[in-house]
Amino acid sequence: MALTIKRIPVGIALACTMLAVALSGLAFGTARASAVSFCSGVTLAPYGQGGDRCWGPSRQGLNYSAVRTYQRAGCVDIANSSNVLLASWICGAAGSAPGLAAAIGYNQDLLGYHKGVIRNNNLSASGTFGGEFACANGCTS
């Protein structure tokens, strides 16, 4: 007996994909509902020059940070209270505003104090950026 496999029509596959994207957007939107802005509208120097990053405030339980980009590509990371980066930079494309270009999570030390940090990823031009962060405990100080 031969097994017959039917292909899913392209329209149904596209509709399923769009539904999955919409549902994931709702899920991520809910997770960021208590996000706090930092470095909003800051102009950062080109990558590798002084002033190419902006550090957010240190908060206990910080476990999420994101970057919003305008003219240039940008990156985000999470640092400890001594400004030591705790993960690898996550970078996103230019022009994400009002949305986010890149985000990073850090769930390894929910009692420690951490901060979000954003960086210009363009080597030759300054740009405008913004960041946001969220905490497991609601970002109390």
The string of pLDDT tens digits covering residues 11-63 is 554 444 444 443 333 333 334 447 899 999 999 999 999 999 999 999 999 99
- Hunting for tokens 């957007």 — which residue is that? 25
Cα(108)–Cα(140) distance, integer angstroms: 18
Residue 13 domain-assigned (yes or no)? no
Q: What is the CATH number of the domain that holds 95?
A: 2.60.120.380
Residue 97 domain-assigned (yes or no)? yes
Cα(27)–Cα(128) distance, integer angstroms: 28
Q: Using CA of residue 14, residue 15, residue 21, residue 25, what is the dihedral sign? A: positive
Residue 58 domain-assigned (yes or no)? yes
Residue 114 domain-assigned (yes or no)? yes
Residue 11 domain-assigned (yes or no)? no
Tokens of 84: 């030591």
Residue 3 domain-assigned (yes or no)? no
Tens digit of each residue's pLDDT (9 = 90 or more) over 51-80 = 999 999 999 999 999 999 999 999 999 999
State the Cα angle at 91 between 89 and 34, rounded to 5°: 85
Segments forming the whole domain that contains residue 64: 34-135
Number of domains in the chain: 1
In this structure, are residues 43 and 122 in contact, taking their beta carbons and an 8 Å threshold? no
